[in-house]
């Protein structure tokens, strides 16, 4: 990744990145994806050169303290509220009787997803959670990176597309998505791609890690890694099909030795910096 040397003349930017790694599945009792996510630094420094001039960037890495579960229903339930705030409910009907002179009790605190994600912060605009609705709430984070394990691969792969259908492999609960038509019913495309310039991201990533085997990929696997990637992308798509989708997926090798995890942290940190630099230099992220 190289070393960032601050320049006092640079503008300052802060970017917030959500990172979550996969948990155990099948006979894989230890998943290096969650170990890598848990050991990422809380902040990274970078520099970008957008049209507005150079900027020093502090990248706040919000790694979930628990892995995402390798189960279709769990992903469908828990990932959307991690990415966007809850949809506001319908406007209440006007009261039929005079209001009470006593103040109402304070509302119950909102329930957080079971991953105990950090408090969300963002700087980039997007919109509400109805496929037919107009733009509204902002996402909880500027960028999202999912991490999963591709055991047979000895290299790190940047997945560049996700699939809507074809999830026939049983998950940790023994369930498949055969016959599921939720996303097709929304009219979502069969394939969704992230909003990043994946080629540019890969070149920057590789440029900072010349000794590592890092590759772009179009095969996320038609299992939970592919599924969670599409889940993240479609949450942006259904709010506005033309808006940015700052979601990416990284596949890591299956080695979970201490040295392999340390290497994975370095490779993943380099990818996060490349994602942020590429997106900012293209005028994204506000």
- pLDDT single digits (tens) 137-193: 789 999 999 999 998 889 999 999 999 999 999 999 999 999 999 999 999 999 999
pLDDT of residue 286: 60
Average pLDDT over residues 116-138: 45
What number is the average pLDDT over the span 10-17? 85
Q: What is the pLDDT at residue 49? A: 73
Rounded average pLDDT over 47-67: 85
Q: What's residue 60's pLDDT?
A: 98
* pLDDT at 131 exceeding the cut of 50: no
Highest mean pLDDT among 112-126, 167-181, 271-285: 167-181
Q: What SS3 string covers the chain?
A: CCCCCCCCCCEEEEEEEEEEEECCECCECCCHHHHHHHCCCCEEEEEEEECCEEEEEEEEEEECCCCECCCHHHHHHHHHHHHCCCCCCCCCCCCCCCCCCCCCCCCCCCCCCCCCCCCCCCCCCCCCCCCCCCCCCCCCCCEEEEEEECCCCCCEEEECCEECCCCCCCCCCCCCCCCCCHHHHHCCCCEECCCCCHHHHHHHHHHCCCCCCEEEECCCCCCHHHHHHHHHHHHHHCCCCCCCCCEEEEEECCCCCHHHHHHHHHHHHHHHHHHHHHHHHCCCCC
Q: pLDDT category, 1, cuts 50, 70, 90?
A: very low
With a cut of 80, say whether residue 121 has pLDDT above it: no
Residue 25 pLDDT: 93
69-80 pLDDT tens trace: 999 999 999 999
- Kindly report whether the global pTM for this prediction surpasses the value 0.85: no
Mean pLDDT of the region 235-263? 96
Q: What is the pLDDT of residue 15?
A: 96
Q: Report whether pLDDT(259) > 50.
A: yes
pLDDT of residue 113: 38
Question: What pLDDT was estimated at residue 123?
Answer: 42
Q: With 60 as the cut, is the pLDDT of residue 89 above it?
A: no
Predicted confidence (pLDDT) per residue in 32-50, tens digit: 999 999 999 999 999 887 6
pLDDT in tens, 188-222: 999 999 999 999 999 999 999 999 999 999 999 99
């Amino acid at each position: 990744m190289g070393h960032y040397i601050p320049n006092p003349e640079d503008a300052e930017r802060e970017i917030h990145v959500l990172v979550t790694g996969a948990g155990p599945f099948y006979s894989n009792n230890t998943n290096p994806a969650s170990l890598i996510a848990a050991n990422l630094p809380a902040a990274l420094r970078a520099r970008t050169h957008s049209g507005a001039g150079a900027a020093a960037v502090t990248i706040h890495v919000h790694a979930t303290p628990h892995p995402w579960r390798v189960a279709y229903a769990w992903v469908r339930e828990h990932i959307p509220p991690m990415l966007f705030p809850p949809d506001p409910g319908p406007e209440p009907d006007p009261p039929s009787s005079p209001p009470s002179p006593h103040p109402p009790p304070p509302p119950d605190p909102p329930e957080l997803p079971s991953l105990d994600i950090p408090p969300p912060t963002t700087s980039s605009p997007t919109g509400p959670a109805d496929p037919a609705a107009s733009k509204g709430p902002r996402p909880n984070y500027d960028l999202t990176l999912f991490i999963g394990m591709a055991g047979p691969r000895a290299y790190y792969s940047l997945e560049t597309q996700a699939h809507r259908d074809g999830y026939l492999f049983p998950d940790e609960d023994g369930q498949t998505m055969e016959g599921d038509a939720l996303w097709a019913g929304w009219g979502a495309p069969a394939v969704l791609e992230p909003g990043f310039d994946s080629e540019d991201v890969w070149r920057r990533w590789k440029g900072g890690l010349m000794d590592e085997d890092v590759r772009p990929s179009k095969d996320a696997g038609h299992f939970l890694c592919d599924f969670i990637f599409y889940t993240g992308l479609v949450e942006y798509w259904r709010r506005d099909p033309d808006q940015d989708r700052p979601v990416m997926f990284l596949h890591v090798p299956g080695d979970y030795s201490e040295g392999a995890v340390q290497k994975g942290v370095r490779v993943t940190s380099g990818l996060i910096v490349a994602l942020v630099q590429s997106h900012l230099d293209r005028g994204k992220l506000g």
